[in-house]
Chain A
């Protein structure tokens, strides 16, 4: 597609990358069909092609982001279904990431919007603060019905309170940086991204991961100094805090790499995995040493399902006679293109695996999206749950805490894939699963 940047504009490395991405797009429109917001809203402006055009125009003219552009870019889930569909290989993720940073730098949001974003950016990446906030939200929950029925602010607050779990689990010992030695002969040593929000909302995921890996002879280290991957702030366009989070992880893992050594960096929250795998790009203009470290970290990063496939997983328990609806998290299927591994592992573990219709469509979680855009997120959740229920499965398995929180509270239990794999390989049954027949 034709672009209209001046040579001066193209000297800016970020604009130059945006230009290369835009030149790859041939404006064919295939992406519109698999975009959840286009499917729901039926407006080119709420499709990837429309957003690409809005972003292109904004960057070419160099004008500050306008309310109109922000509205449509904000509605993007960053589910990246468009990237799976795009035949031309347009890197929409890097383009929209850049647009978000540009918006953050040039647009002043309404005060309640700014406040919510600031709170989320401060709380989500910090487990202790988040635990405290969730407990507070739990107390505030009964007051949700007092909120007005209309208005974005009230809707968002209501969504926030609704998502807060009824019980906040106590902190798990796995939160403390430590090395978990392999049982028996050690075959590998990996770092686990312990994450931020996930270990507060559902510490059982990391516990299952560590149990399974150590049982399989893998030493698992939760590295000192590693924390939030940076995705939360990155997707809000908050460049500096995102880069600081990423840099802290790169430093922590580089120490492990150069010290005792690492065979892989394991991520069990696919939203985070997509970001960690992109560190190499995020630090492309950093000084060469840091850039090389970032690239090395990205290259070593694997989703837990990829790693288990690589080292070979085998169950030890008899098949439990359960049917699973596998919910493909967008960050896993579109962001990382990991599609077969989780399903194959679940089948290997002895489960019957069903794939819901419209599996490519986002469930509406999308990081903090369900808090920022509750109306669209709720419509997507309803649609997703209808498709999942139609499979007739006993429970839902997913590889991303965001989706798990979004899909929870309906008729079917939601668990992380790794909890099921751990269970079938000798671990405890995931909470809330009827273990009949197992």
Chain B
């Protein structure tokens, strides 16, 4: 179990009063405080870490969120914001004395402006929900984390989520125009809006990726883009992870930026094929999904160039998708990849380091060696074009030694990422999972400086305080 800050005794002692007070702020079905119904909220997408909260509250409006924050601020109660609960870094892991603030009832699209290419949505709208709302008019929202079917835009903002197509379109931060936030004191503030670049400091930049520690995001103004004329995916299969890694480096190094460049190794190929029936090459050790878009002529030109590069690496097979259905199946497999690993292993830890693409082949080789040494299997599924690794370490949570080994192995992989010039997290956030590794990336001085930013927004460290920073006895002053 992960270490958590000690529960506040005074809060625990006033539990019933606090719960009663919260109950006055939302409709009856919006408060959960009995132990049986709290249990399913004890964890998120990282189910190895669990802690039942004091209460769960499900507001329906920004005003309700503001009232909840003002109340919790007054009462000194810690708050853990939660969207769909798909975090792979434990971003929504509760604390014993915390209130989980679930935003999934705030799931309305408020405004779509095609002329100015933006949409205003509530925090609990799913990532794919935005694209679904605008696709009939030929638009889409670009960042596409693999959990896009379920994950919510509020969580995307807080983790600065990426996705397969971020190679071309950038991550969440590059596709945001405005936020409505509620401060820890319960004030409602608008930042940016339906225009390019927020005035003043880049508050959007600061809040994006702040892991629910600076404010609660309740509304998001996103940029929507014109859908491309067409897109085609190519599957390139290779006889070794290192060879596929080298091919990625060659493609990126040649100056070609496909819209997506994804990597899957043998265990991942097999698990995903069982789910998606996409015709993945089961005889290969590694596979790349390379997608290009534009007019048919543009696609052909790009695919020809990419094919030439792939051929230099003696591919096992090269296959270009021939239909929209085929492309859909190819992506269904990739997007369901983490879950699909559930078919071959009861549990996994999903790592999220980034490295320079020029080091891909070397790092994949070293991960393979580390896997052999510790006796735990790894499935590699990741955004290769961005150098954003996702080694999935397979373990058995019913066996405590297996979990401990997995945690150690995961930490070693992330250390390796930092060692070769990368970083601890590409898109999943630090959460609790990588919290204690922050010292590998940053010096104490750097960490303290970051803590001061947190303190400026939240002097009492009430918002999601157990995440991102290694636990310290006392928070640093602003």
Chain A contact residues, CB within 8 Å of chain B: 1-3, 23-34, 38-39, 41-45, 49-50, 53-54, 57, 66, 68-69, 72, 85-90
Contact = CB atoms under 8 A, between A and B. Distances in A.
A28 B147 contact: yes
Contacts of A2: 47-48, 346-347, 397-398
Contacts of B126: 33
A44 B102 contact: yes
Contacts of A85: 149
A27 B37 contact: no
30 contacts: A2-B48, A2-B347, A2-B398, A23-B346, A26-B47, A26-B338, A26-B341, A26-B342, A26-B346, A27-B43, A27-B45, A27-B47, A28-B338, A28-B339, A29-B44, A29-B45, A29-B86, A30-B336, A31-B150, A42-B58, A42-B105, A43-B58, A44-B40, A44-B104, A49-B85, A54-B40, A68-B34, A69-B36, A87-B337, A88-B339
B107 interface: yes
B40 A49 contact: yes
A85 B347 CA distance: 19
B275 interface: yes
Interface centre among A1, A39, A41, A88 (most CB of B within 10 A): A88
The 3 closest A-B pairs by CB, nearest first: A88-B342, A87-B339, A87-B336
Contacts of B397: 1-2
Contacts of A23: 346, 398
A216 to B, nearest CB: 30
Nearest to A4: B398
A45 B348 CA distance: 24
Nearest to A52: B40
Contacts of B338: 26, 28, 87
Interface of B: 29, 32, 34, 36-37, 39-41, 43-45, 47-48, 58, 84-86, 102, 104-105, 107, 124, 126, 128, 147, 149-151, 272, 274-275, 336-343, 346-348, 397-398
A41 B346 CA distance: 30
A24 B341 CA distance: 9
A42 B32 CA distance: 13
Contacts of A28: 45, 86, 147, 150, 338-339, 342
A1 B46 CA distance: 10
Contacts of B346: 1-2, 23-24, 26
Nearest to A85: B149
Contacts of B275: 87, 89
B38 to A, nearest CB: 10
A23 B205 CA distance: 40
A379 to B, nearest CB: 14
Contacts of B104: 38, 42-44
Contacts of A90: 342
Contact of A66 (B29, B36, B151): B36
Contacts of A54: 36-37, 39-40
Contacts of B149: 30, 33-34, 85
A85 B36 CA distance: 26
A24 B342 contact: yes
A26 B39 contact: no
Contacts of A72: 37
A1 B43 CA distance: 11
Given A28-B86, A57-B40, 7 more contacts: A1-B397, A28-B338, A30-B86, A44-B102, A44-B104, A68-B36, A89-B343
A23 to B, nearest CB: 4
A42 B84 CA distance: 9
A27 B150 CA distance: 12
A31 B40 CA distance: 14
A175 B107 CA distance: 48
A69 B126 CA distance: 27
B348 A26 contact: yes
Given A32-B84, A45-B40, A88 B340 contact: yes
A160 to B, nearest CB: 25
A43 B27 CA distance: 13
B102 A86 contact: no
Given A27-B47, A29-B86, A86 B339 contact: yes
A130 to B, nearest CB: 35
Contacts of B85: 29, 32, 44, 49
Contacts of B124: 42
B342 A50 contact: no
B23 to A, nearest CB: 15
A86 B107 CA distance: 22
Contacts of A57: 36, 39-40
A88 B86 contact: no
Contacts of B84: 29, 32-33
A248 to B, nearest CB: 36
Contacts of A32: 84-85, 150
Contact of A53 (B39, B150, B337): B39
B40 A26 contact: no
Contacts of B102: 42-44
A102 to B, nearest CB: 15
